[in-house]
Structure 1
Amino acid sequence: MKLRKVTAASATIFALALTATACGSDDSGSKESGSGSGSGGSKSITIGIKFDQPGLGQKTPDGYAGFDVDVATYVAKELGYSEDQIEWKEAKSADRETMLQRGDVDFIAATYSINDERDKLVDFAGPYLLAHQDVLVRADDDSIKSPEDLNNKKLCSVTGSTSAANVKEKLAPKAQLQEYPTYSACLSGLQNKAIDALTTDDSILAGYAAQDNFKGKFKLGGFKMTNENYGIGVKEGSDLKAKINTALEKMVSDGSWEKAVTANFGPANYKNEPAPKIGDIKK
């Protein structure tokens, strides 16, 4: 009799455990790329962009603006998402791989240069823009006329960016590297003479130099030190890569890519390269 009581109790506990496990599975399902649920059960997509890069990715009082934002919005539309179904997240340079690996975002369009090191950690669609590394200096500074002149100068870029490392390792080994959390912080340092030059892609620098409050204060070096192939980052193995590539090809063919370039870079007289072909990485 005692044995039958224990057996019945055990059966009850086992049944409860199964019920709890089933409920837990329903409540903790992992998010799939491009298929997150917004409020009211509507689909949404989470995209990483820069929040502080004029002309490319910038958070403004009216929303988000820039070439990367336009590209990401077009891609999202081709994937089946309207603008109000997009959740924008800030993707700082040092955080991009981690954000993709953790699934914090579905994809990242944030001046994300494709290189071998990053390609080992995430996958890239594109490229969708070919930029070049350059420097921004004060308009009245005539001491930096070539990359070699950066030796013994205070050179700023953001933490996690390859730009300053490229200069120090290949062009000006005596440059004094200063890493700041954002390009905006670098720009403030340049304006206050705490640093001598800001280095990153010419597209980014042109966006800053073209702002109304900075017009006439800075100038581009025009050095074109590297090729920077902007790609859209996705989690390694994601099927979004092929879908995004198809969307990018359509954006170029229907004229939307050129329209976005003109709208975002035109005011700075930025001379962009033609739209790159998918998979064509310029070394």
Structure 2
Amino acid sequence: MKLRKVTAASAVVLALALSATACGGDKKDNDSGGSGGGKKITIGIKFDQPGIGQKTPDGYSGFDVDVATYLAKKLGYSEDQIQWKEAKSQDRETMLQRGDVDFIAASYSINPKREKLVDFAGPYLLAHQDVLVRADDTSIKSPADLNSKKLCSVTGSTSAQNVKDSLAPKAQLQVYPTYSACLTGLQSGAIDALTTDDSILAGYAAQSQFKGKFKLGGFKMSNENYGIGVKKGSDLKAKINTALEAMVSDNSWQQAVDKYFGPANYKNEPAPEIGDIKS
């Protein structure tokens, strides 16, 4: 009789242990493993770039957001399983290395320095450094015309300095805290031009309050190959490349380009081939 009591008690302990193990298994299933079919996937995007990646009261929008959402679906995740995380330019490599995100789609240009730290799928967009000027400005027809012009430089950006160093040494750099502030200065005449990637410029110019007020120079002063950043050695790279090819083939890529950049008359390059990095 005493033996039976011990056995029954042991059975209770065993049942509790099995229950705890099952709970632990559920927790693991909820974690994002980056292989699809899990409960969530964490994606890094920009929160402050209209047309590219922007957090709004209604959610998230932009070309990179649409690309990332498409990729997540191809990996087996629904929209409500996506957890968005802000990926500031200076934090992107660290976020991937620490595993804070599964992948990053945030106007993330592929270059040799970054490729030493993370892997890239893509590219999925070929952008170029360009300038944005007022729609009625006929004086800036080439980079050389920026000489003696007031050229907006956003704090922490090297784009304007690159123009001054190599193309227009007499350009007058004006430092503003944000691209939005540059646009306000451009609209008022306080500055003559703003420079960064043409995709970013198109995203800002396409905002409803700025439609028809600005135009892109179309100067193509550099090649910016946007890639999807993943952790070094991740098998997500191959899966995302396959998904990007599908996005192009079913026309979802072009639809996203037209949606976010079209209002600014952005002359986009054709969708790049996977692995084709333009120098």
Normalising TM by the smaller chain, what interval?
A: 0.7 to 0.9
Match of 1:197 in 2: 193
Aligned residues: 251
Match of 2:218 in 1: 222
- Secondary structure at the residue paired with 1:186? helix
Indicate the larger mover: 98-107 or 61-70. Answer: 98-107
Indicate the larger mover: 66-75 or 259-268. Answer: 259-268
Residue 220 of structure 1, CA deviation: 1.4
Match of 1:125 in 2: 121
Task: Report the AA paired with residue 50 of structure 2.
Answer: P
Listed as ranges, the matches of 1:1-283 within 5 Å are 33-34=33-34, 43-159=39-155, 161-178=157-174, 180=176, 182-283=178-279
Indicate the larger mover: 70-79 or 269-278. Answer: 269-278
- Secondary structure at the residue paired with 2:120? strand
Q: Which runs of 4+ in 1 moved over 6 A?
A: none
Task: Report the AA paired with residue 202 of structure 1.
Answer: D
Residue 61 of structure 1, CA deviation: 2.4
Indicate the larger mover: 263-272 or 237-246. Answer: 263-272
Contact 2:206-2:260 at 8 Å conserved across structures: no
Indicate the larger mover: 168-177 or 59-68. Answer: 168-177
- Measure the CA separation in 2 of the matches of 1:181 and 1:124: 29
CA spacing shift, 1:276–1:171, aligned 2, 3 Å: same
CA spacing shift, 1:268–1:78, aligned 2, 3 Å: same
Contact 2:50-2:62 at 8 Å conserved across structures: yes
Task: Report the AA paired with residue 180 of structure 2.
Answer: S
Residue 188 of structure 1, CA deviation: 3.1
- Measure the CA separation in 1 of the matches of 2:151 and 2:96: 29
Task: Report the AA paired with residue 211 of structure 1.
Answer: Q
Contact 1:154-1:176 at 8 Å conserved across structures: yes
User: In the TM superposition, what whole-angstrom CA distance separates every residue of 1:235-283 from its partner, at most 9, and x where no partner exists?
Assistant: 2222211111111112112222222223323333322221111000112
Contact 1:137-1:219 at 8 Å conserved across structures: yes
Residue 136 of structure 1, CA deviation: 0.7
Task: Report the AA paired with residue 229 of structure 2.
Answer: G
Residue 74 of structure 1, CA deviation: 0.7
Task: Report the AA paired with residue 138 of structure 1.
Answer: R
CA spacing shift, 1:171–1:225, aligned 2, 3 Å: same
Which runs of 5 or more residues in structure 1 are unaligned?
Answer: 1-25
| % identical aligned pairs | 84
- Measure the CA separation in 2 of the matches of 1:232 and 1:159: 25
Residue 179 of structure 1, CA deviation: 5.4
CA spacing shift, 1:51–1:229, aligned 2, 3 Å: same
Residue 55 of structure 1, CA deviation: 2.2
Contact 2:153-2:160 at 8 Å conserved across structures: yes
User: In the TM superposition, what whole-angstrom CA distance separates every residue of 1:193-241 from its partner, at most 9, and x where no partner exists?
Assistant: 4443211122221222222211232221121112221111112222211
Residue 69 of structure 1, CA deviation: 0.8
Contact 1:52-1:183 at 8 Å conserved across structures: no
Q: CA RMSD in A?
A: 2.7
